[in-house]
Amino acid sequence: MDSREENRKKTLDHHVDEKFHEIYFLAKEEYDIKSKSEEEKLLYELLNKFKLKLKERCKSHFGLEN
Which are the contacts of 59, defined by CB distance < 8 A and separation ≥ 6? Answer: 65
Query: Which of 59, 51, 54 is closest to 1 using CA atoms?
Result: 59
Q: Note the pLDDT tens digit of each residue in 4-63.
A: 888 888 888 899 999 999 999 999 999 999 999 999 999 999 999 999 999 888 888 777
Distance, C-alpha 42 to centroid of its chain: 15
Q: Is 10 helix (H, G, I), strand (E, B) or coil?
A: helix
The pTM is what? Answer: 0.76
Read off the pLDDT band of 65 (50, 70, 90).
Answer: low
The pLDDT, as a whole number, for residue 20 is: 94
Task: Residue 58: name the closest of 1, 16, 6 by CA.
Answer: 16
